[in-house]
Structure 1
């Protein structure tokens, strides 16, 4: 994943404002952060550790889509209705992160248009990248299954 998708790609004033809203959290390895089709009421920016995004495929185990690391956004569904996770996420290692209350950040985005635009543009770029990664991973999985 390119650095343009990390938190550092937000303009510094907006980045600092967003980070000031976060709470420091820690998670052990192998902890589910969220599962598909549940309420997306928070999100995280990783400080240390790794998180894998996955998708539950019909009649199969979870398919790993992408691995995220330091400075990356975990969760994009919190910004867009219906505010439900489209993927799942699990820690691969112990994780330290900034955790954000989604409704608080959405409210700030509405009340501060410049902040809202910057955050929306950043999340939109992350979302676009994740859609490409998901599509590529699912095509790989189905190609493998067709050969088996």
Structure 2
């Protein structure tokens, strides 16, 4: 089961060891999966459906940052102290996912350096992409020229 996204980023052996820790979960459309600032102690790999990531904006409605779909990892804050969610997440359609307990995965990564390296490389890519998406969204909301591009 190679798939795409995080599944394609992790070689088969380490991927199988990771998947042995996962459990199947589902979320109805409209379910808040986590809130910005909450305790980040797990993550998900989306199988079906979509999840929107949002950023709290004081005095305004939360700003949509990115929408995730099948194959992508939901949640990276479990990996970085202080282990608090940097964004909020809501199922925009019914979602089926594999859920992973962060402590169990981190313990496995201590023993499995191939998994550790592949997972860390993938999460760094995710962090970069989400940081760019959040920046673009905030510039769209507050920047004088929209999406942060130069005016001329």
TM value normalised by structure 1: 0.90
Partner of 1:18: 18
Aligned residues: 144
1:91-124 C-alpha deviation (Å, 9 max, x unpaired): 0000000000011101111222222111111111
Gap regions ≥5 residues in structure 2 = 147-152
Q: What RMSD, in angstroms, separates the aligned Cα atoms of the two structures?
A: 1.9
Scaled by the length of structure 2, the TM-score of the pair is 0.88
Larger helix percent: 1
Gaps of 5+ in 1: none
1:92-107 aligned at under 5 Å gives the runs 92-107=92-107
Equivalent-residue separation in structure 1 for 2:26 and 2:4 (angstroms): 25
After TM superposition, the structure 1 = structure 2 runs for residues 1-148 of structure 1, keeping only pairs within 5 Å, are: 5-143=5-143
* Map of 2:149 onto structure 1: none
Contact 2:26–2:96, Cα closer than 8 Å, also in 1: yes
Deviating runs (4+, > 6 A) in structure 1? none
Cα deviation 1:40-65 (Å, max 9, x = unaligned): 01110000000000000111110000
